[in-house]
Structure 1
């Protein structure tokens, strides 16, 4: 049946609307290098952070990003909250950031890292150059670019008073790219991309090295915060040499130079495995408990609690079963050969020692990493006790010497968590003194465990000879020492 002219026009118009809808969706979810366009801009400034996929710790950084955003929301900052997310970030995470946290998610293509083949390149920094997209947020006058390991304790909108670029120096010569303030500029962004493609030198292959090398004379610039209207302070307004830009660069020191005062922002640079969201980082990092308190009051721990409950039940079950069943390996036999006996004894000693070590190490690997430290450490002691009980009952070991290292760990946590140290140096000295005094106790306990295991093997408590009945165990077999 032939369509009339009106029906054809109607069908063509419908197809056009569908194509237009798809195009709008693509525009809203993809950042083009010609400038990021945001919908529903509400403020003239923005706090921004980034997310990308491809590391074993993607979920941990997702949680950290949400806590960062919620800490800003809680203080009612006068700025938009932006998450620069790569296109492979799961949509459920994007929806949570937008609908539950109130952030605006900008989807971007990953910036190709030209330094990934250089010597000593750390693969976890492969996509950190996505941070350069902050200069592409041209809808805003100023952007505070943040790593996920920042925590805001109070409103810090005074950060937007910087010039074209401000950064935090982590030592007298190197500024930290975990928190800096910038004036978005399409020209600067294009020049950065051009420098990447032109073989710009980068000592570490990551954003830290690139941005630090891109602004090499930042340390030589004046130490003041120009007002937002650009008026010179005290009649002085110097321009840096070597840059074709129309504003000067400044740096800030969080503790002394930020107008909002000290203790406004906590940044957790340092060892990767001591980030504040890991339960074992506290009390090694005392301020980490404030990060978890912020999460508890905002995001919560509902995602991890089912796993915590299941693991607690399993650990308690292990303790009960080892108490009731008292498993042993006494039913194994050996041939009447001195060589075989000697090798078996060495193997058993090796297995026993490693089973004790595993009891202290395995819980770190299986307990959810991002739970609250108090829950994490409680579950650690429960799990370590359960796994240690297996070694105790299997090899007929004395319980107290096996548990002495665990008691020492508990004591070290109390020493580190003591809240009345005058400064960090005194705290470090106290922890060192405790470790120095307790180390001989741990060593003596391990010597006693090995000696007891050697005696048990020499008495052949574990291996009755071939032909002997195993129905009646040796005297004192099931006793704990």
Structure 2
């Protein structure tokens, strides 16, 4: 009888331990499932050693667009510009888990960023994104900024910003602050927030239930989260350095749309500090692309910052290889010109029908277009504009020599567009325009005056192609003896 109570106690203790283990396992599994369901960062602690401040400037990077490398360079330049203006805050990168490791290493070790690796948040509005807007599919990763609870305030910024001066006073703003570039909707290229896991989890819940989203991306979602921001007071930083509570509108000077500059060719934003330039334009006209200058003058300012901070070590070997390729093309084309001429006319006159003549003309025109298009796509996108335009013009010249020698076209007619591009660059880069309107009018006038010359060159090229076809019978096939005629002696 004495053993039965002891056995009962042992059995009860075993049951209690089993229940406790079951509860712990269930809680652990539930937490893991919740993290997996919501996509919370699996390696969010990476870079914690670089956490030195109460505040942070944060940007995000994700993969899956045709311009991933360009945005990688843009983030590095922007983050380094914060150091140049003396920002007293951590610089945090919210990077998706598929960002290349060497990029993460460079940004952490060379640029001094704190890198937080996250899993991409599923965008329930993906079906509403069409065409080029599909590049915004993963912009909802910005919501991870609310999970940076190590900081009291975070300024979330896009990679297409240029900082002109220190903006640390933004950390005095309230729980959410943003700029209204559009009269009705605030812009999410820069906004201030107070990190909070409660707010973060609430936003994840809104994603699950499908809160209304006007554009299918981060801006439409956040506008739905803060629909009354337009009615809030304008932010003015307290002189004593205290932090405000609530939501505020930021002055326009914290997100100056680059298009304002192009109207006056100088900044004139009297309602706030001229602190940050943003480029919410078409993706092909971001400031880091070499062709953006002098089409968009501010592109040179961005490249000046990159020259000071990063240089162009990655692009220079590619540019040198292209230069060598172009020199080789010009030399080989010049040496092979006689044989290219024979190849071009290696046809019997009796087989030249109207369709064949039309195809030969079309081939000549396509070759000319290719001579102008190919160099544009082989130049590194983020190279310095002066270097990029120089390589483009030299590349067009090299490929045009192939077309000129292959089809015996007049050089001036083929290079008329090349000369027109050179003139257009000088017209757009002229530094003494009074304002942007005058610049546009001069560019339009130049294009109007150049159009007749371009049309005349096209007519001349077509006439030359027709002459080539008519002269064809006077050229022998390869391997046949060439008849000695007075006409052939001219060539």
The two structures have a TM-score, normalised by structure 2, of 0.82
Structure 2 CA distance for aligned equivalents of residues 347 and 35 of structure 1: 60
Alignment match, 2:138: 127
Q: Is the 8 A contact 2:172 2:243 kept in 1?
A: no
| C-alpha RMSD over aligned residues | 2.6
Question: Offset at 1:189?
Answer: 1.3
Alignment match, 2:324: 313
1:317–1:48 distance in 2 versus 1, CA, 3 Å: same
Structure 1 CA distance for aligned equivalents of residues 217 and 86 of structure 2: 32
**Is the partner of 2:144 in helix, strand or coil?**
helix
The answer to whether residue 54 in structure 2 is matched with residue 54 in structure 1 is no
Alignment match, 2:181: 170
The answer to whether residue 336 in structure 2 is matched with residue 337 in structure 1 is no
Alignment match, 1:253: 252
The answer to whether residue 101 in structure 2 is matched with residue 88 in structure 1 is no
Equivalences for residues 448-467 of structure 1 within 5 A: 448-460=460-472, 464=476
Equivalences for residues 218-237 of structure 1 within 5 A: 218-227=229-238, 229-230=242-243
1:57–1:471 distance in 2 versus 1, CA, 3 Å: farther
Alignment match, 2:111: 101
Structure 1 CA distance for aligned equivalents of residues 438 and 486 of structure 2: 54
Alignment match, 2:81: 71
Structure 1 CA distance for aligned equivalents of residues 451 and 173 of structure 2: 51
Structure 2 CA distance for aligned equivalents of residues 474 and 269 of structure 1: 65
**Is the partner of 2:428 in helix, strand or coil?**
helix
The answer to whether residue 355 in structure 2 is matched with residue 356 in structure 1 is no
Deviates further, 378-387 or 162-171? 162-171
**Is the partner of 1:117 in helix, strand or coil?**
helix
**Greater share of helix residues, 1 or 2?**
2
**Is the partner of 2:408 in helix, strand or coil?**
coil
Equivalences for residues 257-296 of structure 1 within 5 A: 261-262=273-274, 264-296=275-307
Structure 1 CA distance for aligned equivalents of residues 331 and 485 of structure 2: 22
**Is the partner of 2:249 in helix, strand or coil?**
coil
**Is the partner of 2:234 in helix, strand or coil?**
coil
1:269–1:101 distance in 2 versus 1, CA, 3 Å: same
Structure 1 CA distance for aligned equivalents of residues 152 and 232 of structure 2: 21
Q: Is the 8 A contact 1:218 1:251 kept in 2?
A: no
Residue by residue over 1:165-198, the C-alpha shift from the partner in whole angstroms, topping out at 9 and shown as x without a partner, is 2222222112221112222222221111111110
1:33–1:90 distance in 2 versus 1, CA, 3 Å: closer
For structure 2, which runs of at least 5 residues remain unmatched after alignment?
A: 1-34, 257-268
Question: Offset at 1:35?
Answer: 12
1:421–1:150 distance in 2 versus 1, CA, 3 Å: same
Q: Is the 8 A contact 2:145 2:154 kept in 1?
A: yes
Structure 1 CA distance for aligned equivalents of residues 489 and 396 of structure 2: 25
1:218–1:477 distance in 2 versus 1, CA, 3 Å: farther
Question: Offset at 1:458?
Answer: 1.5
1:257–1:33 distance in 2 versus 1, CA, 3 Å: farther
Equivalences for residues 294-305 of structure 1 within 5 A: 294-305=305-316
